């Protein structure tokens, strides 16, 4: 019986990991600005269930020196969405030529499992630069500064 319990204890994390994906970078989420709002639009051919999202600063950390500074954290959402709108994004300290990322708790972008998806972005005038899937974070941050 003890060996069965050990097996179950070791097997459960693999089962959970198999049904949950972490930190997938997306490049098919379209980000654009309009009238002071920031829009994150999902692919039209996908049904995306959004649980939660937050906007974090890619360049600055909390006082612990390890956690990226959080600028905006949504309430629990738990509904199907076609886009997320961050109204009056400047009030959340989002400025041009600075790197940020959205952390999205979702289901439906990649497959049917629940997961966390990230998308890096920075703003410059009427443009939004997004981080590419295989791009190094430091390279992306430098691109933002060079705009």
- What is the residue extent of each domain of the chain? 21-146
The band of 134, judged by pLDDT with boundaries at 50, 70 and 90, is confident
Residue 82 predicted with pLDDT over 90: yes
**CA gap 118, 55 in Å, rounded:** 10
pLDDT of residue 33: 94
Domain covering 21-146: architecture: Sandwich (2.60)
* Full-model pTM: 0.76
pLDDT tens for 39-65 read 999 988 888 899 989 999 999 888 888
Average pLDDT, the chain: 81
Residue 142 predicted with pLDDT over 90: yes
Residue 40: beta bridge partners?
A: 31, 84
Supply the DSSP string of 59-116, one letter for each residue: EEE-TTSSSEEEEEEPPP--EEESEEEETTGGGGT--BT--EEEEEEEESSSSSSEEE
């Amino acid at each position: 019986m003890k060996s069965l319990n050990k097996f179950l204890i070791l097997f459960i994390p693999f089962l959970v990991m198999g049904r949950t994906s972490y930190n997938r970078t997306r490049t098919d989420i379209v980000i654009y600005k309009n009238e002071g709002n920031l829009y994150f639009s999902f692919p039209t051919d996908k049904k995306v269930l959004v649980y939660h999202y937050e906007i974090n600063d890619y360049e600055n950390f909390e006082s612990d020196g390890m956690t990226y500074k959080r600028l905006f954290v949504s309430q629990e959402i738990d509904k199907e969405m076609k886009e997320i709108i961050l109204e009056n994004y400047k009030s959340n300290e989002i400025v041009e030529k600075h790197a940020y990322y959205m952390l999205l708790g979702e289901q439906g972008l990649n497959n049917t499992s629940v997961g966390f998806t990230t998308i890096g972005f920075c703003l410059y005038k009427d443009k939004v630069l997004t981080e590419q899937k295989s791009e190094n974070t430091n390279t992306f941050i430098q691109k933002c500064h060079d705009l």
